[in-house]
Amino acid sequence: MDSQGVWVRLKTHRWVYSFSIVATLAVGILIGTVISFGVKGKEGQKSSDATPLTVPAPRQLSNEFSRIAKELGPSVVNINTESTIKNMHRHHGENNDNGDEDNDGGGGGMDDFFNHFFGGPGGGQMSPFGPDNGPIRERSLGSGVIVDSKGYIITNRHVVEKADRIRVRLQDDPPGVQHDAKVIGEDQETDLAVIRIDLDRSLPAAKMGNSDGMEVGDWVLAIGSPFGQVGTVTAGIVSAKGRDIVPGRQFQSFIQTDAAINPGNSGGPLVNMNGEVIGINTAILSETNAYAGVGFSLPSNTVVQVYNQLIGPEHRVSRGSIGIMFDSVENPAIARVYGAGTGVTVSSVVPGSPADQAGLKVGDTITSIDGQRVSKGSELVGDIASRKPGSKVDVGFMRNGKQEHTTVTIDDRAKLFASRLGEEDNGGEGSTPKQGKFGITVRKLTPEMADRLNMPVSKGVIVQDVKPGSFGEDVNLNRGDVILEVNKQPVNSEQDLAKVEAGLKSGQDVVFLVRPRGSTQQDGTIFMAGTLP
């Protein structure tokens, strides 16, 4: 087509367009005339007395929430962590009788259970970092709150656990600016950690409140970075106090709230209407790994006690213990059978522990500590844990219907329950906790756990954690596996495993009888074996 043809067409289109405008204007004038005639036709109606509407000046009506958010916001930080971990071996990928790969589908409820109640990566995103069986890079997000203007920050242990690099973003930081942080101390029992950033200026610090003063129904705010959304504020009330969300988990009695808490909120503050931190948001109860109206915060009174020890010379929490175990769920039948009425009935005594040396036995019911009546396990643990190792206490107990007394020397809880807590004291300042020869942390599998995790049995111990590079990892043990036997010896408690572990030496063969995580009765058990290095 030549240029003249193109010009003619454009000219023709322009003429049509001009005609359309003229026609449209004509129709518009006609319609406008009709409309104006219609309005003008309503005689007798006047609008000169109508008052024009105005927009009022900006005014805060419910200003308590916004005031607290502005006041506390600058002290709440976003925490980013990076860690390199080995790609987990998939011993569950064995073939079953049908020739299909036995796939657990990624964990689902099991992962939620461990991540929320035992502490886990919590919302981390993994990206390949090498071949399928090579190391992978894990990134996770969390929150924290500045409690000292020198840069000391409280957060959850599971937010910074095993991280190669920890970076903190302040609320007023420009995009992309983050500050490297170092871990000052961690406490596995309460899932708390203290980290620090070193800046050349004073930082805004939050005020700590008294969690004992909170009542059910009191308003609270949760501040943090859910899903990485920095500076998010949600409101709710205290739904309950004294929640023990994992049976037998000591030192974790939570404040329950319906303020929205999601992945990424971990480590952020729960705040009262005085603008004081009365809790550290730690866990949620949800089947979807997202907000379902039930969140848990560790009370500030517990947080302060742990913080003050973590910033001390040893950078660790020292708790007293006498080396006994008891049923975490109160059951009147136990007291009736053992004829003690009220008290704490001993179900296990750690060999060589202070309780063992003082003559306490399984079946004894502890009724008093230094003359103070004890009726619940939480009272006993709270009293003993608050005492310094080396101090002595008078323990009153019932045995065969007779009241007796013995003197017990308090020991360090971390030493007595090293295999259960996954830590030993090696005397170094700020030393890294060590696990036993197997490099695993376990807990007794209770009927409640077995039911929640759809396990066919309630015998054995459930693997809580596996240390990277450990013997446990070498034989392919994973979190959630249930160990039933070790070298033909039944293992039904942390103490059972510790005894077997203590009797093994380097070079010995070790065979675990295991029911893998997520398995059913039909799936059966498998062996995992290796030679102890």
User: Domains of the chain: which residue ranges?
Assistant: 64-94+103-197, 207-310, 320-415, 435-531
pLDDT band at 241 (very low <50, low <70, confident <90, very high): very high
pLDDT band at 247 (very low <50, low <70, confident <90, very high): low
pLDDT in tens, 31-71: 444 444 444 445 556 667 888 888 877 655 557 888 999 99
SS3 393: strand
In CATH terms, is domain 207-310 a member of 2.40.10.10? yes
Residue 83: is its pLDDT beyond 70?
yes
What's the CA dihedral at 64, 69, 74, 78 to 10 degrees? Answer: 160
Q: Do the first three CATH levels of 64-94+103-197 and 207-310 match, i.e. the same topology?
A: yes
Q: Compute the distance between CA of residue 384 and CA of residue 354 in angstroms, rounded to an integer.
A: 12
Q: What is the DSSP string of 87-128?
A: PPP-GGG-B-TTS-B---TT-THHHHHHIIIII---S-EEEE
Tokens 């077997």 locate to: 500
pLDDT in tens, 101-143: 333 333 444 444 444 444 444 443 333 334 444 555 567 789 9
> In terms of C-beta density within 10 A (0-12 exposed, 13-18 middle, 19 or more buried), how is residue 23 classed?
exposed
- As a whole number, the mean pLDDT across the chain is 77
Is the whole-model pTM more than 0.85?
no
In CATH terms, is domain 435-531 a member of 3.90.1150.10? no
What's the CA dihedral at 388, 394, 398, 403 to 10 degrees? Answer: -170
CATH top-level class for 320-415? mainly beta
Percent of the chain with pLDDT over 70: 70
Q: How many other C-beta atoms can be found within 10 angstroms of the C-beta atom of residue 333?
A: 7
pLDDT top residue among 301 and 125: 301
pLDDT in tens, 481-509: 899 999 889 998 888 898 898 888 888 98
pLDDT of residue 328: 64
Tokens 């709150």 locate to: 145
Q: Compute the distance between CA of residue 275 and CA of residue 72 in angstroms, rounded to an integer.
A: 7
pLDDT in tens, 358-376: 999 888 889 999 999 988 8
For 264-300, b where at least 16 C-beta lie within 10 A, e where not — what string? bbbbbbbbbeebbbbbbbbbbebeebebeebbbbbbb
Per-residue pLDDT, averaged over 278-307, amounts to 88
CA 229 → CA 141, 147, 223, 428, distances in Å?
10, 21, 11, 39
Active site residues: 158, 191, 266
pLDDT of residue 246: 67
pLDDT top residue among 133 and 324: 324
Q: Provide CATH code, domain 64-94+103-197.
A: 2.40.10.10
Judged by average pLDDT, the poorest of 208-222, 332-346, 415-429 is 415-429
Q: Compute the distance between CA of residue 278 and CA of residue 361 in angstroms, rounded to an integer.
A: 40
pLDDT band at 159 (very low <50, low <70, confident <90, very high): very high
By C-alpha distance, which of 158, 153, 143 is closest to 80? 143
pLDDT top residue among 147 and 175: 147
SS3 402: strand
Cα-trace Rg, the chain? 32
Q: Are 414 and 319 in contact (CB under 8 A)?
A: yes
What's the CA dihedral at 8, 13, 17, 19 to 10 degrees? Answer: 60
